[in-house]
Structure 1
């Protein structure tokens, strides 16, 4: 069969030539976050799902041993002892019998069927190893994403608490002015409404923070107590990840490499299904001895032996073997299409991440300016309101704009971090283990 051929572009559409270069192996270390590093290492050591995936890879290793054993002779030893009572006309008779035998069997690999089975097992093992590396990368990325979601949630909580405190102070000022007859009761009610809304927002955000804490604790294999501490300030990373050439994606993506080995294993399965329709030849040699007592076995008497050659050829099976071969071929064709779909989806993931990176950077700059302008407008509107120059509606509108700009800026900072992680995963990450699970674990503060 002819394996699939994938044509790749010379350069990513959304990147410049200067973006191409080796991918950083220690991408998560660029965040300069020791707690994140500790969480990643603890997750690789303690995450239950990742441990289960490691056992899946070990199962594939044992299958290689099983398939390799079929290429070698098989020797078995059997020893039995029996005691029999028989009744005759003259009385009863008790007889003893002891037997020992050894059997050596070997299937001659005439057509290479057994070699193909071993090849399939080795390819399945290679697929399992690359799949485990992809799962390791995904686990690290999931921990990093959840960590920055938690930090972002903490930063939003701090913003909501600050706004609640500001609204409470504004309420005190407006109530004092109202008692002096300087403003209307409506302004007091509107401010009270804002205070209650902000306090409700704080309670809801506290719940969101605790949910993310539990999610992270589960990822590192701990009981989800919801007490994992995190800062309330997101890092701002300005340096982009260097992009490899598109042609390197097929070798850098562990999941694509796993699918490729899986495809080759299916090719071996097709060869096996085809060769099962050919005759098989087995050599069998056996030897043994019999005596009335177990202690008399192998006492120097000549051993009985036999040598047998056996040829088995399928003649009529109602098309079962032919259908099995057709199934193997159809499975192979199906996996070819799945592989191509996965490859081009991987290209799309990288292109989308690159385009999203540029859009997020531009939006961040615009909202950074909007935040500065909105905060200045909020302060000016409240000062003018206290002087009786504008209505309280203008104050509310300026507060809403300032709040929206601050919230958007926090969310965009998190989205830039998430995009960086997604782009790294889409590119396939490093070709070296992220952490050794034998290393001493970092301490994660709760």
Structure 2
């Protein structure tokens, strides 16, 4: 048994029984009796201010009996383990308590040997749940870091290379980045004047802090799209805001004004950023796979004498390149796709990539993507997204979880991205959908 301590509450309307239960040697079970109450109502009041792991309760009590107490505890504190005390005449009540999640029941007069065995089992269950909770929290932290890593890698690839349309669709979903709902894009670059050299006198540790700070500040200072900070301190801003881009086409100085405002706000951290920031603005493009062209245009402007804002013409979108897939035909394709679907259905509540599914069914990721479309008529990303959205709709209709909690429960760590995806599939935001569903139930 671990060194953890477990908190126990005793609830019985008879003072002598409460004292008798308190006299039991709980130390060998790592249990502390933190409260005893004479009825269920007082017990619930105490639970509001005290974390309880184990509850020992009688059934027949004034104001609120053990049956009602067990029902309310199961609803409000599902982690709590309930042990019910009953007389022979209360046997059916005890069985009802078991339906409400009670761990076990004991008949009066109490056999302390049996009591000890039940306590030991309850403690083991609490300990296991604590371990699982720690593992779950550790996994969630890891998953969150994984999403951040995927997001940075995807943005880097999007800026530096002309990615294929299918690749963008798959990787943007894993990175929780929404691009397809936008019709135009512009890349702006912010650089330190000494780029790509570091400012003089800045060591590795200080430079890492500068990059970390710049990345985090841009999340707060700028909300017109997405940003990527490279290892040399260059910050690429991918503008997706339609109003901003429309305004830029009408008045080329408009984006420059917004960029100047961002730089002015960064000047508050002059003690950290020991170099001035300059910027360029690329051309407007109409496809996500052309974002790299806007990036290249902005980078090229730094080679000219005037590194301030320039009015650059837009370019026409090119036809997307046809993706060629050379795959082998296999006889068990349907079985593999079914296994892939089962993996998704058991893991949709966390961040999973096409590579994760492919590894599970022992296939190459590109081949799995091809096979999924061939045999189901549906893209992998469409299947997992629609599956998650259907689960989210059910949770919105039948539970009281907050919208961001529902998003997390179906695998979306970013609440804004969850709302965008949900609205794309339902033409309603999650909150609008819940309100509409609630209205239908009332009518």
What TM bracket, shorter-length normalisation? under 0.3
Higher helix share: 1
The normalised TM-score by structure 1 is 0.19
The normalised TM-score by structure 2 is 0.19
Which structure has more relative contact order (CA 8 Å, sep 6+)? It is 1
> Which of the two has higher C-alpha Rg?
1
